[in-house]
Structure 1
Amino acid sequence: MTSHAIKFAAVGALLALAAGTFSSLAQAQPIYRIVGPDGKVTFSDKPPPATSNATVTAAGADGARGIATASLPFELRKVAGQYPVTLYSGENCGPCASARSLLITRGVPFTEKTISTNEDSQALQRISGDNSLPFLTIGSQQLKGFSDAEWTQFLDAAGYPKSSVLPASYRQAPATPLVTVAPTPATTTAARPATPAAPSTPVTPPPSNPAGIRF
């Protein structure tokens, strides 16, 4: 077998393995940020029981929820629904910019989550196992670090078109933080009922001629 045939067979095996991975793995589960009554913050893929009195915020979920797919061509809408793409990026990250450019140029609808706070980093650690960026998920498939060739192979295996078929009206959704921390409700002072004013004692005007003097 020639070296060219061996290389072709290896690539084919990789794509077949990727396709099998896509078909066998379930959709990515949400990651919950849980603040307990004592203020301790934890991350879990399962929400706490309703009786725990904990504050829960969804830290991350499958990317299909962040993509408006109604206007997409049928085949692309089908692929995006089955294998949603989510890009995790950071500020001043050159590889993140290259990753974003690849997805936009190819016409892949995706959700972008930014990592900029400690809460974001903790949630990313829970999802991917480390904090390296960029990080990409295609369905449940995880790709750490940007590689044009590798990402292209996995997008091919998932069934995304090799060139953009997005309608001219399509607009990529803006990036949002991975963790949206619910604001703490401001403590409001209960309005005190107004104290009714004491009724005023009517003042009887003095008689104009108190002594009853006549002239």
Structure 2
Amino acid sequence: MTEGLNPLFNESGISDGAAGASKRLTVLSGPSGVGKSTVVREIRRRHPEVWLSVSVTTRRPRPGETDGVEYHFVDDARFDRLVEADDLLEWAEFAGNRYGTPRGPVESHLRAGQPVLLEIDLQGARQVRGTMPDALLVFLAPPSWEELVRRLTGRGTEAPEVVRRRLDAARVELAAEKEFDMTLVNTSVREVCDDLLALMVAPSV
């Protein structure tokens, strides 16, 4: 790992009780507004044995966000060092900011047999498929296109142009569903969490 990144990127928090779990890495992806963050929060609440990777980003923290919880917040120079040292499993740029998954903690938890979950975008999922072909890629789909539009436009927190870009991106992301190993339709957060956990701990084929 790059010097100076400890302890943020080397903390394991691995529990002994997870030693018998599958070593599979699971990637959750899907269009903006489909409910990925809600599913991840519910997984975190109900299944603390699942380790959720915390991304690193150059984006500035929003009110209420805590470094190391929602994201590891870094500047551009530090992000550059992570990329140069191959310390990121995947990374992408979105809306002028960069986001990436620290490699070290993911590999450490997988070696310990702990289920690992990444919530990342389509570009990141494709990168993980290239670097870790045994990963399980799960696509979270909306019940319908109309429901996804309702969720995106109903936020009321973004300018119309931003919403339009998100809808355009969502069409591209939905078209990539066939690239994933499994699709879960988000009609019920609880059911999606149960199905996702079952996939994570199932023996790898």
Asked if Structure 1 and Structure 2 have the same fold, meaning a TM-score greater than 0.5 normalized by the shorter chain, the answer is no
Higher helix share: 2
Between 1 and 2, higher relative CO (CA 8 Å, sep ≥ 6) is seen in 2
What is the TM-score of this pair, normalised by structure 1? Answer: 0.27
What is the TM-score of this pair, normalised by structure 2? Answer: 0.28
Q: Which has the larger radius of gyration?
A: 1
